[in-house]
Amino acid sequence: MNVLVWNENRHEKKNPVVSEIYPKGIHGAIANFLQEEHVTVNTATLDEDEHGLTEELLNKTDVLIWWGHIAHDEVQDEIVERVHKRVLDGMGLIVLHSGHFSKIFKKLMGTTCDLKWREADEKERLWVVDPSHPITEGLGEYIELEKEEMYGEHFDIPSPDELVFLSWFEGGEVFRSGAAYQRGKGKVFYFRPGHETYPTYYNQDIQRVIKNAVRWVNNANTPTPVYGNAKPLEAISKK
């Protein structure tokens, strides 16, 4: 399996708190723990040519992981179309944290993907609301994070095909934190945690979810449907 971890990589260059937590970037931290899964992992960032998302690389990618926040508008529409086509063709997509506002996620959802937020040191509990789902394998009833940014409802997304996690925050808000979708041949999973000033991606349970999600969205062996003007099936034509 070929996994590509994409990160805009801007906070790491501007904020010393973020660069201290993630000295190799958020993409580097995620790629590091995914190496344990014996998959081929590459990384790409916004300031590379074509944002690192060349046709050649995307065509070899089974799963794309996306983290963005302050530079969504800088992602070229041409590249968004390229990623969108690959998802419809079967590439898995995992969108993390503030990637909910990325061009690619909004295009796939067809909504604003807006929400409430509050940047504060609040406890978050991500409750497993679908314990039978493969993404929750190896977890308990909930994941607890001592400090995270609050995201609250209403979250303007389509009703998930499968809701996997529901978050509760100390301020009283709840949020649909793990939402799974099918788009064309591709699977899409949105996973909320991961504010840049917290070491969330070092949490073992968060890593477990992302590892599980990589396996779940991988759709490489799904056959391609045939569309257009269809001739009668041979078995039917003989009748």
pLDDT tens sequence across 90-128: 999 999 999 999 999 999 999 999 999 998 889 999 999
pLDDT on residue 235 = 59
Using an 8 Å Cβ cutoff, are 90 and 185 in contact? yes
* pLDDT reading at 219 higher than 70: yes
pLDDT tens sequence across 50-94: 999 999 999 999 999 999 999 999 999 999 999 999 999 999 999
* pLDDT reading at 236 higher than 60: no
pLDDT on residue 230 = 84
pLDDT tens sequence across 153-189: 999 999 999 999 999 999 999 999 999 999 999 999 9
Using an 8 Å Cβ cutoff, are 44 and 4 in contact? yes
Question: Terminal CA-to-CA distance of the chain, rounded, Å?
Answer: 44
Q: CA-to-CA distance for 93 and 38, rounded, in angstroms?
A: 19
Ordered structural domains, the chain, with CATH: 2-113+177-223 (3.40.50.880)
* pLDDT reading at 134 higher than 80: yes
As a whole number, the mean pLDDT across the chain is: 95
pLDDT on residue 238 = 55
* pLDDT reading at 239 higher than 80: no
Question: Distance of CA 107 to CAs 80, 85, 104, 168, Å?
Answer: 9, 11, 5, 27
pLDDT on residue 16 = 97
Question: Distance of CA 94 to CAs 87, 89, 146, 192, 237, Å?
Answer: 11, 15, 24, 11, 44
* pLDDT reading at 30 higher than 60: yes
Q: 100: alpha, beta or left, given left = phi > 0 and alpha = psi -120 to 50?
A: alpha
What is the mean predicted confidence (pLDDT) over 144-157?
97
Question: Distance of CA 223 to CAs 49, 140, 185, 217, Å?
Answer: 32, 35, 9, 15
